[in-house]
Amino acid sequence: MPERLDRELIAMRVAQELPEGAYVNLGIGIPTLVSQFLPPGRTVVYHSESGVLGYGPLAGQGQEDIDLINAGGQFLLPTPGMAFFNSAEGFAMVRGGHIDVAVMGAFQVSEKGDLANWMLPARGVGNIGGAMDLAAGARRVIVAMEHTDPQGKPKIVRRCAYPITGPGCVSLIVTDVAVIEVSPAGLTLLEVAPGWSPREVQEITEAHLSVARDLREMGF
Amino acid sequence: MNKVVSSFAEAVADVPDGAVIMMDGFGGPGGMPQHLILALRDNGAKGLTIISNTAGLPDFGSLGVAVAVTHNVLMENGQVRKVIASFPVSASPARPNAFELLYREGKIELELSPQGTLAERIRAGGAGIPAFYTPTGAGTPVAQGKEVRTFNGRACVLEHALLADFAFIRAHQADTLGNLSYRGTSRNFNALMATAARITIAEVDEVMEPGGIGPEAIMTPGIYVKRIVKR
């Protein structure tokens, strides 16, 4: 199998999906990296469940303020234009359809766009956090993840075996080998990572992939 | 009227066994009512139900700030019977918090609520709304056993309001009438919980005379707050 992309390249590809002026929520993990790779000249406003809109870079060592964090508990720098609010208002923004794009990680995504990202059954307990609200409320949900799990099993499946976060909520899947669109007709392979063929991507994908007529190579 | 209480011990002295207590503690030490938590440990009340976004945080030492006191203190002291939370365990299964260890042994009960649903349940409780429908969680395990109704073609889950006997609030400034302001992201659940308890107790950095916090800057009006303790 050809080489896979690293987490930064996945994040870089996702960053291209954020439109100018969008209000964006980035989940924990690979999604957090996306803000570093926004194309030059593009402005988006980040929302976090911790109760802040319009945050900028992470704080460096010695700059931490315990009252200025994102949803992952990372410390933020004060940024002109940022706004604070309580959690009911923060989630009114989410459910009310005011968040244009949510980028989340996933354990599994189904061919219908079902998302499973809050609980591994073996652990017996999980964290939902803001994921179910974002799955239900964000206008567009993009999943950023590795194509297979640590055991090498496909994460893009016919039906999620893990408890789901939201049914039919995922619009686009960006992985370390492909970009896949989810539509009522199923999954369409839009892009492959450099060196990968559609057949090789299908071999590590449980769900069926239709290949786009204008299949492209992922670019950064 | 002066709502200032002289010690944390006095502020929590009437918390009985079996009390339902709301407290913040989002993803770090900010917003955590650390002194009230310690006073509750020393009070010793047992069989408590804790309503909070998290159920005890890992040590944030690697990020440059150590979290000395979180809900872990109450879990380890065997005071908690039940937790209502959205993010109860640590992000890494390899570093379980005290809650997760108790949960594995069947010694503690968990009611898991999506974060926005948890926030709205608390808001509704404080606002006198007994229940509401939300699209969040429809078609997932969260909807199991709950009434589901379709509005405008979308399945929505009936969720019930939350109320508490006590709310432990971490605010920045207070005046003697109980008006509060918060710093930064520490407003998130604190400002909601302040409205939804019979007795709201605020742990603050600074207590001022009325007028010290400008009326436009007050985030929690004093009507919700019973007791104030300065750190």
User: For A3-20, what is the mean pLDDT?
Assistant: 98
Tally the domains of chain B: 1
Q: Is the pLDDT of residue B47 over 90?
A: yes
* CB contact B188 to A (< 8 Å): yes
Please report the pLDDT score of residue B61 as a whole number.
52
In chain A, whose CA is at the least distance from the CA of B142?
Answer: A165
Question: What range defines the domain where residue B35 resides?
Answer: 8-131+160-230
Q: What angle do CA A96, B137, B26 make, to 5 degrees?
A: 75
Whether B113 is covered by a domain: the verdict is yes
CB B65 within 8 A of CB B101: no
Q: Is the pLDDT of residue B62 over 60?
A: no
Six token digits for residue B143? 């909807």
**Which of A17, A49, A181, A191 does the annotation list as catalytic?**
A49
Cross-chain residue pair A68–B64, CB shorter than 8 Å: no
Task: Give me the percent of chain A exceeding a pLDDT of 90.
Answer: 94
Provide the shortest C-alpha distance from residue B99 to chain A (in Å). Answer: 11
Which of 10-69 (B) contact A at CB < 8 A? 26-31, 53, 57, 60, 63-65
* B134, B186, B191 ranked by CB distance to A95: nearest: B134
- Homologous superfamily of A7-47+97-217 in CATH? Glutaconate Coenzyme A-transferase (3.40.1080.10)
Cα B9 to chain centroid distance, Å, stands at 19
Whether B2 is covered by a domain: the verdict is no
The single-letter code of the amino acid at B21 is I
Cα B71 to Cα B99: distance, rounded to the nearest angstrom: 9
Buried b (16+ CB within 10 A) or exposed e, A130-141: bbbbbbbbbebb
pLDDT tens figures, A160-184: 999 999 999 999 999 999 999 999 9
Least confident window among A112-126, B9-23, B52-66: B52-66
Please report the pLDDT score of residue B92 as a whole number.
84
For A160, which DSSP code? -
Cα B22 to Cα A187: distance, rounded to the nearest angstrom: 44
Cα B204 to Cα B182: distance, rounded to the nearest angstrom: 9
Cα A124 to Cα A126: distance, rounded to the nearest angstrom: 7
SS percent in chain B: helix, strand, coil, step 5: 25, 30, 50
pLDDT band at B57 (very low <50, low <70, confident <90, very high): confident
Q: Is the pLDDT of residue B191 over 90?
A: yes
Going A48 to A54 to A59 to A63, the CA torsion angle's sign is negative
Whether B139 is covered by a domain: the verdict is no
B20 vs B58, more confident:
B20
Cα B164 to Cα B143: distance, rounded to the nearest angstrom: 23
Whether B92 is covered by a domain: the verdict is yes
CB B14 within 8 A of CB B198: no
The single-letter code of the amino acid at A53 is L
Please report the pLDDT score of residue B95 as a whole number.
86
CB A44 within 8 A of CB A50: no
Please report the pLDDT score of residue B65 as a whole number.
53
Q: Is the pLDDT of residue B64 over 70?
A: no
CB A91 within 8 A of CB A143: no
Cα A196 to Cα A206: distance, rounded to the nearest angstrom: 17
pLDDT band at B25 (very low <50, low <70, confident <90, very high): confident
User: For B19-27, what is the mean pLDDT?
Assistant: 92
Cα A124 to Cα A97: distance, rounded to the nearest angstrom: 32
Q: Which residues face B197 on adjacent strands?
A: B164
Contacts of residue A24, Cβ cutoff 8 Å, sequence gap at least 6: A18, A44, A45, A46, A47, A99, A100, A101, A102, A103
End-to-end CA distance of chain B: 21
CATH number at residue B33: 3.40.1080.10
Whether B146 is covered by a domain: the verdict is no
Please report the pLDDT score of residue A73 as a whole number.
86
Cα B34 to Cα A51: distance, rounded to the nearest angstrom: 20
